[in-house]
Structure 1
Amino acid sequence: MIDTDLLHTLQGALHGTLAERLGIELVETVPGRVVARMPVAGNTQPFGLLHGGASAALAETAGSMAATIHAGPDRVPLGTELNATHHRSATAGWVTATATALHEGRRTASYEIVIVDDDGRRVCTARLTCMLLEARTG
């Protein structure tokens, strides 16, 4: 079941960030899984194809939000590794990223992120690893 309060809280955390500038929207936020989407328009390279860096930013955003849920209020995730394989181009519509937990531990969390186009074709596969740090107070 989707926790709409959590979804709105995490979407609000994207205000003023690169994710907001790219038009990234959170669709689903549950423990172990986050779904986010991004328009292709405005996120292309000069040849009209979805920019690989935009795909990487979408993947990192989805994975980081999943790590944020896992970390809880007393810890914060810090991305330490992101890799992405681009399988096909996208030129219009939206791309949707689904981050699924591979490992959610006490100190690290890793996610596989699959990005698909509007027709469900895989555009990119990424993996994100985050270190979980104690939140700073004061």
Structure 2
Amino acid sequence: MMLDKSKMLEYCNEFSKNTLMQTLNIEYIDAGEGFLVAKMPVNSSVHQPMGLLHGGASVALAESVGSAASHFFINDKEQEVRGIEISANHLRSIREGVVYGTARIIHKGKTLHLWEIKVTDESGNLISLCKLTNMVLTKEKK
């Protein structure tokens, strides 16, 4: 389903309405051959009790951008994507600002996609390093 960059971003931002991505204010901002980037503000709504970015929010950003990116390699009329495994190493903390999730394809098979997602701050410092495996399924006929 490869679209031009502006249509890819519009598509991702449109299907995020009324979802966790909208709740977390995740916005897709850049795309290209084999990658997708989204940003998420860091404020009290995504903090853990010590006032730092919650690891779960970082993982939600990573899974959101990695799953969205898989849509560009499938026929979304006949197929759908499910995240089946995600892992994350949280390497640095952040209290405020913006984090960016950049998903890059590592393996693009017919039924499995493997993504590396780097969550970075505005200065490019690595906050979390994530790996996501997505399964490509045939949509059930209704």
Once the two structures are overlaid, the 10-residue window that deviates more, 100-109 or 63-72, is 63-72
**SS of corresponding position for 2:62:** helix
**SS of corresponding position for 1:82:** strand
What is the aligned partner in structure 1 of residue 83 from structure 2?
Answer: 79
The aligned amino acid for 2:136 is L
With the length of structure 1 as denominator, give the TM-score of the two structures.
0.95
What is the aligned partner in structure 1 of residue 42 from structure 2?
Answer: 40
Q: Tell me how far 1:77 sits from its aligned partner.
A: 0.8
What is the aligned partner in structure 2 of residue 65 from structure 1?
Answer: 68
Q: Which of 119, 127, 131 pairs up with 1:127?
A: 131
**SS of corresponding position for 2:46:** coil
What is the aligned partner in structure 2 of residue 9 from structure 1?
Answer: 11
**SS of corresponding position for 1:63:** helix
What is the aligned partner in structure 2 of residue 52 from structure 1?
Answer: 55
Once the two structures are overlaid, the 10-residue window that deviates more, 65-74 or 109-118, is 65-74
Identity of counterpart residues, as a percentage?
Answer: 36
Q: Tell me how far 1:33 sits from its aligned partner.
A: 0.6
Separation in structure 1 between the aligned mates of residue 12 and residue 135 of structure 2, nearest angstrom: 19
Question: Is residue 18 of structure 1 aligned with residue 20 of structure 2?
Answer: yes
With the length of structure 2 as denominator, give the TM-score of the two structures.
0.92
How many equivalent residue pairs? 138
Once the two structures are overlaid, the 10-residue window that deviates more, 39-48 or 105-114, is 39-48
The 4+ residue runs of structure 1 with deviation greater than 3 A are none
Q: Tell me how far 1:137 sits from its aligned partner.
A: 3.6
What is the aligned partner in structure 1 of residue 30 from structure 2?
Answer: 28
In structure 1, list runs of 5 or more residues that go unmatched: none
**SS of corresponding position for 1:62:** helix
**SS of corresponding position for 1:89:** coil
Separation in structure 2 between the aligned mates of residue 72 and residue 114 of structure 1, nearest angstrom: 26
Q: Tell me how far 1:134 sits from its aligned partner.
A: 0.9
